[in-house]
Chains A and B, each alone.
Chain A
Amino acid sequence: MSLKDIKHITLVLSGKGGVGKSSVTSQLALTLSLQGHSVGVLDIDLTGPSIPRFFGIESEKVKQAPGGWIPVPVHEARKASGEDAQGIEGKELGSLRCMSLGFLLANRGDAVVWRGPKKTAMVRQFLSDVHWGPMDYLLIDTPPGTSDEHISLVETLLKQATPEQLAGAVIVTTPQAISISDVRKEINFCRKTNVSVLGVVENMAGFVCPNCSECTNVFSKGGGEVMAKEFDVPFMGSVPIDPMFIRLIEEGRKPVYPQGTVVEGKDLAGEINEGAVQDDGLLVDKYTACSLCPIFDGMVKKLVSKIEG
């Protein structure tokens, strides 16, 4: 059984599409890895897998081993080497690996046109036939809705994983009412299936104009926090839109910010003075320069202390 050696399993859910489930999943994974945990990401969005794109490993293929699949590595574990002056280079890292249907497709533009039973079979197979090995965290990225994939996922997890392993679900939403109304349904889904809600992340909360630093609430504001209060679930925090993060994912560019950008007490500016743009290196190292990194760092610390007690 492939889930046996995994310490904690966390689902990332949202009733609404395009709110940033995959984006939040990948950032949670990167941050957990930066904090030294070994992480696996399982993408069960079968008709629209985005995880391979987020980690920049779209061209990878899954390898087959006797009795199962080998997940695709994003980076290996790295030991801390304290004497490194730059600080970033020597940071301790946990390994990060993924599994997604995207790795099984012959052509990235191919449509996966599947009815329910076939999706159910695939989800079960993903949960039972992937050789994760010993690992601290498994994050499961889901498609929008409350249908076949979700029912099969929770059904299988309740059967195959122990209650201690199944930590719960992180709910992602955007602030506007249209999104909130779908996400309420997802919280009710968790209640009905006895999956505990670890917290709500409000994504795309505000966009800071790079020209005048004026913050615009592109998709309204505060909705996630109000909903969390109403359902009596923890609110984990708001994540603003950062075009530099999107750029990092889309182009692999290391984020650079104008002078005076301070997030969570950390000054992120200054890189621009070096002139040279550093575009190579691991995604996870480049991510440490992103303004969202400190936000997720705080969120993940809270999450980890909650899960590990």
Chain B
Amino acid sequence: MAPSLEEPIQPVDDALDSHLKKAPALVAPEPEHCPGPESQSAGKGDACAGCPNQQICASAPKGPDPDIPVITQRLAGVKHKILVLSGKGGVGKSTFTTMLAHAFASNADNMVGIMDTDICGPSIPKMMGVEAETIHVTNTGWEPVWVSDNLGVMSVQFMLPNRDDAVIWRGPKKNGLIKQFLKDVEWGDMDYLVVDTPPGTSDEHLSVTSFLKESGIDGAVLVTTPQEVSLLDVRKEIDFCHKAGIPILGLVENMSGFVCPSCTHQSEIFRATTGGGRQLAKDTNVPFLGAVPLDPRIGMSCDFGESFFDNFGDSPACKALKEVVRRTGEEMGLDANHVLPDHEDDESMDRPWH
């Protein structure tokens, strides 16, 4: 096969729509350059010649996916859906997701859910301290794992027989599981559903976006670190959001600056040579939600599955995080004081999570 230098970009609309169509049952893996078994040109494209699936794809009805209304029905009770995205890995998507969820849940009236769509590297269960749990199946669906009375979590980690098992799955299988997370999980009446994503702009992102299109996404929070290597990938993610029609709630800069615990000298470990997240937000016309300094205790809290908010409530990183959460609430059109009360009322800070 001769290599091509043609524009290697697939129109996002096509990629998104193909998830909304019913997929026929295939007899062989999808070939290279497969137009997608759900697409209009399925079975008719150049790549389809000689494919064992050709007949199936060409004759399958191309109606809308019957599961979409089921998902919409299932999520009818969920008021706000927030995606946490970043093109880059290891910038703190999962950490920020747990912080956001803990913050929302600190108001006892809120019901909060976290859905972890990182199938190959799920971090949420460990960060929430529920790594060893399994999913209970009831007659109404799968029950999320409850971290506290008003905070539920769903992740692939709960389904693994062994903690260290690798999930070696190609795209379609990952999409299938994400669909089940939305369709079969008994989310119930929730105020907030926070969706954590893997790095990149691929299968998981497309499926979450297209499955949730009908029930509506409030928006995406993008997480970045200050250095250009990271901003480069986040720029791509912003482009993805624009193309896929996901509103962007704002950009958070994580790991910005590090204060030496012994001499309180501030160093920029990940130097913002190109202006960091603030400049990127300005350039791309996205709200800047704030900068959170690097604090080794955040990582430690995550390792032990404890809430950083509870343990180190008065640290500068915690204050910055709270401000970011409040700003996120504002961007969603909510009252910041309702999302996260400014005054640290003892009642909410002493609540046992575990």
Given contact pairs A48-B88, A147-B169, A243-B267, A125 touches B3 in the complex (Cβ within 8 A):
yes
B65 to chain A, nearest CB (A): 15
Q: Are B243 and A101 in contact (CB under 8 A)?
A: no
In the complex, A84→B18 CA distance in Å?
Answer: 62
Which B residues are CB-close (under 8 A) to A184? 163-164
**In the complex the two chains form, what is the Cα distance from A210 to B163 in whole Å?**
39
Interface 1/0 per residue, B82-93 and A, CB below 8 Å: 000001111100
A54, A147, A187, A247 pick with most chain B CB within 10 angstroms:
A147
With CB as the reference atom, state the residue of chain B lying closest to A221.
B296
| Smallest beta-carbon distance B50→chain A, Å | 15
Residue A288, interface by CB 8 Å = no
- Residues on A with C-beta less than 8 A from B300 are 176, 220
Assembled-state Cα–Cα distance A174/B233 (Å) = 20
Report yes or no: B269 in contact with A207, Cβ–Cβ below 8 A: yes
Distance A104 CA – B5 CA, assembled complex (angstroms)? 7
- CB pair A48–B90 under 8 Å, yes or no, is no
Q: Are B271 and A48 closer than 8 Å at their CB atoms?
A: no
Q: Are A146 and B166 in contact (CB under 8 A)?
A: yes
Interface SS of B by simple majority: loop
| Pair A246/B243 contact, Cβ less than 8 Å | no
Q: Are A111 and B236 in contact (CB under 8 A)?
A: yes
Find residues 1-51 in chain A having any chain B CB closer than 8 Å to their own CB.
Answer: 15-19, 22, 47-48, 50
A47 touches B9 (CB 8 A): no
Closest CB in chain B relative to A273 CB, distance in Å? 23
B170 to chain A, nearest CB (A): 5
How long is the Cα–Cα vector from A176 to B51 in the complex, in angstroms?
A: 46
Give B235-246 as 1s and 0s: 1 = Cβ < 8 Å from A's Cβ atoms.
111111001100
| C-alpha spacing A181/B122, complex, angstroms | 9
Across-interface contacts of A108 in B (CB, < 8 A) = 232, 235
Per-residue interface assignment for chain A, residues 186 to 222, with 1 indicating a CB less than 8 Å from any chain B CB and 0 otherwise: 1111001100000000000001011110101111100
User: Does chain A have a CB within 8 A of B148?
Assistant: no
Closest chain-B Cβ to A31's Cβ sits at a distance in Å of 19
On chain B, the residues within 8 Å of A189 by CB distance are 166, 168
Which residues of chain A have C-beta atoms less than 8 A from B123's C-beta? 178, 181-182
A210 touches B267 (CB 8 A): yes
Contact B203 A211 (CB under 8 A): no
Nearest CB of B to A80, in Å: 33
Decide yes or no: A220 and B296 within 8 Å by CB, A104-B8, A214-B263 being known contacts.
Answer: yes
A117 and B32 form a contact (CB under 8 A): yes
A134 within 8 Å of B (CB atoms): no
Cβ–Cβ contact B240 & A16, under 8 A: no
Report Cα–Cα, A12/B129, bound state, in Å.
Answer: 30
A129–B4 CA distance with the chains assembled, in angstroms = 10
Nearest CB of B to A258, in Å: 13
Question: Mask for B160-180, Cβ within 8 A of A = 1, else 0?
Answer: 000111111111101000000
Interface residues on chain A, number (Cβ under 8 Å): 80
A residues in contact with B2, CB < 8 Å: 67, 129
| A113 and B201 contacting across the interface, CB-CB below 8 Å | yes
Task: Say yes or no: is B261 at the interface (Cβ < 8 Å to chain A).
Answer: yes
Known A178-B303, A209-B265, A214-B260; contact A117-B1, beta-carbon cutoff 8 A: no
Question: Are B296 and A50 in contact, with the CB atoms below 8 A?
Answer: no
From residue A230, how far is it (CB to closest CB) to chain B in Å? 10
User: Interface of A with B (CB < 8 Å)?
Assistant: 15-19, 22, 47-48, 50, 53-54, 62, 64, 67-69, 101, 104-106, 108-122, 124-125, 128-129, 143-148, 150-151, 174, 176-179, 181-182, 184-189, 192-193, 207, 209-212, 214, 216-220, 241, 243, 246-247, 249-251
4 tightest A-B contacts by CB? A17-B89, A18-B90, A116-B171, A145-B120
Chain B residues near A (Cβ < 8 Å): 1-3, 5, 7-10, 12, 15, 18, 30-34, 36, 87-91, 94, 119-121, 123, 126-127, 131, 163-172, 174, 198-203, 205-206, 225, 227-230, 232-233, 235-240, 243-244, 258, 260-263, 265, 267-271, 273-274, 294, 296, 299-300, 302-303
What are 7 A-B pairs with beta-carbon distances under 8 A?
A: A17-B121, A113-B201, A117-B31, A147-B120, A150-B168, A151-B168, A176-B299
Besides A115-B206, A117-B30, A178-B127, 13 more A-B contacts (Cβ < 8 Å) are: A48-B236, A53-B229, A53-B232, A67-B2, A101-B8, A109-B238, A115-B202, A117-B34, A146-B168, A148-B170, A176-B302, A216-B258, A246-B270
